[in-house]
Amino acid sequence: MTKSTSRQSRPDSGESAVRQRILSAAFRAFTEGGYAGTSTLEIATRAQVSKATLYALVGNKQEILAACIGARVRRLRVPVDLPRALDREALADVLTAFGTQFLTEISDPAVVAVFRLAIAEATRAPEVARAVDSIGGEAIRTALRSILSQARSSRLLDGEPAQMAEHFTGLLWGNLMVGLLLGVADRPSPRELARRARAAADAILGNYGLAQSK
């Protein structure tokens, strides 16, 4: 990982452009032919670079995969600098903002493509799914649990943060991702995503909310 990190931190703009070309070529190859069926030679050929350059700027196939996923799934890291909720209405607003951004990013076609890749390679290359979860999923769960833990500490909610977080994300998802993954549903409009997020926030408050003293 140290080597990979040092590669990513190189400031040279020319190398950065070549690296990006490699990652774009790799992602296309992975999504078209699968992770297991894609070789570093094919990636290098698509990117019009030598294998030596590929290894020097990005790394081996697993490091290339992690970089491809990271570039797309890292956007799922919803900002955790949302204001702390001091009352029910503020909590509803915070959860709505969190949910809206989460749905906006996760329904992005590039992110959906990453999920399709992870599912397609679940048996042959389980490291794909693990990479998706570690880069994006765990960060989301941690941020949401933090919001819900603060709400419980403020006596706005009564429930286990992990359970409430699972309930909230389930309400957000519904059957949306299944439809997107199968290609039978269009990406919802920003207004519809905000509506779904507000409905999920209201449901959490309805199920776990504590009455506040006047």
Mean pLDDT of the chain: 86
Exposure string for 5-23, b = 16+ CB within 10 A, e = fewer: eebeeeeeeeeeebbeebb
According to the model, what pLDDT value does residue 125 have?
79
For the stretch 126-182, pLDDT in tens is 878 887 777 667 778 888 999 999 999 999 999 999 999 999 999 998 899 999 999
157 forms beta bridges with 209
**pLDDT > 90: what percent of the chain?**
54
DSSP state of 108: S
From CA 15, how far away is CA 53, in angstroms rounded?
A: 10
- What is the pTM assigned to this prediction? 0.76
From CA 78, how far away is CA 143, in angstroms rounded?
A: 8
For the stretch 171-184, pLDDT in tens is 998 899 999 999 99
Angular region, 138: left φ>0, alpha ψ -120 to 50, beta rest:
alpha
According to the model, what pLDDT value does residue 60 have?
93
**Burial of residue 126 (number of CB atoms within 10 Å: 0-12, 13-18, 19+):** exposed
- The model's confidence at residue 1, banded by pLDDT at 50, 70 and 90, is very low
Residue 23 three-state SS: helix
For the stretch 181-197, pLDDT in tens is 999 999 999 999 999 99
